[in-house]
Amino acid sequence: MHRFVTVILALVLVGTGAFAEAPTGQHTSPADKARFGQTLFSGTKLKALLGSERRKKPAEIQYSRKWIDGQPAAKQVDEEWQCLAEALYFEARGESVKGQFAVAEVILNRVDHNYYPSTLCGVIKQGTGKKYQCQFTYNCDGVANKIYEQDAYDRVGKVAKFMIDGAPRELTSGATHYHTKAVSPAWSRQYKRTATIGVHHFYRQPPTRLSKN
């Protein structure tokens, strides 16, 4: 009977990863019993930890309005989030969700590029106040930046949060510029076009020798 119980316990301990330290003799000392109990606990804890590692990963990004509308509202936001959300609202709220993620990529790629400021707000507000000389037109077109479409703002706010939290930048191949199909700025003939999404063409500016602002 003792051997049968020992075998069952051994099988259980193999499942917990703690078998190597478990006493198997019939005459178990108090010290062994104590160690046996600790080992069983350790094995159970290890199993729990392994289970936590196998939890379902967060859902992958889906570039659809149905998916983004089903995601929770952005929370624990800060100034950087606000800058990006406003930029997406004024620059891309009429675009598809995929187009909004693409514009967000451009802004984050500029943060990483050595020619532009190192923060989202720095990139987005660069040149503000100089009419038609800012990086993003809505900041210098003479029109007040007021948000009238709350649903659209909530949507791009989610896009902004996903991107700030590390969503993959897989749409524009490192683009740092974009323009609508209706125009053809001079710089578009200097940089490599990397993607076309919705009404926007996307381009990548090579690294420069200039340091960060």
Q: Measure Cα distances from 180 to 7, 15, 177, 198 in Å.
A: 72, 60, 11, 9
Q: How far apart (Å, rounded) are the C-alpha atoms in residues 185 and 170?
A: 25
Length of the chain, please?
Answer: 213
Confirm if 131 and 142 have CB atoms less than 8 A apart: yes
Q: What is the mean pLDDT of residues 196-203?
A: 95
Single out the residue of 159, 61, 69, 68 nearest to residue 108, CA to CA: 159
- pLDDT tens for residues 74-111? 987 899 999 999 999 999 999 999 999 999 999 999 99
- CA angle 89/94/96 to nearest 5° reads 105
- pLDDT value at 32 more than 50: no
Distance from the Cα of residue 75 to its chain's centroid: 14
Q: What is the pLDDT of residues 149-174, one digit of tens each?
A: 999 999 999 999 999 999 999 999 99
The 3-state secondary structure of 2-31, one letter per residue? HHHHHHHHHHHHHHHCCHHHCCCCCCCCHH
Check residue 212 and give its pLDDT.
Answer: 56
Q: Lowest-pLDDT range, 44-58, 136-150, 198-212? A: 44-58
- Print burial letters for 161-196: b (CB count within 10 Å at least 16), e (below 16): bbbbeebebebbebbbbbeeeeeeeeeeeebeebbe
Position 13 confidence tier, pLDDT thresholds 50, 70, 90: very low
- Is the pLDDT score of 60 beyond 90? no
H or E segment at 97? helix 97-112
For the cut 60, the answer to whether the pLDDT of residue 20 exceeds it is no
Whether the CB-CB separation of 195 and 171 falls below 8 Å is answered with: yes
pLDDT above 90 covers what percent of the chain? 56
160 to 10, 106, 185: CA distances (angstroms): 52, 12, 27
pLDDT at 127: 80
In the predicted structure, residue 132 carries a pLDDT above the cut 70: no
Is the whole model's pTM more than 0.85, yes or no?
no
Structure confidence at residue 133 (pLDDT)? 72
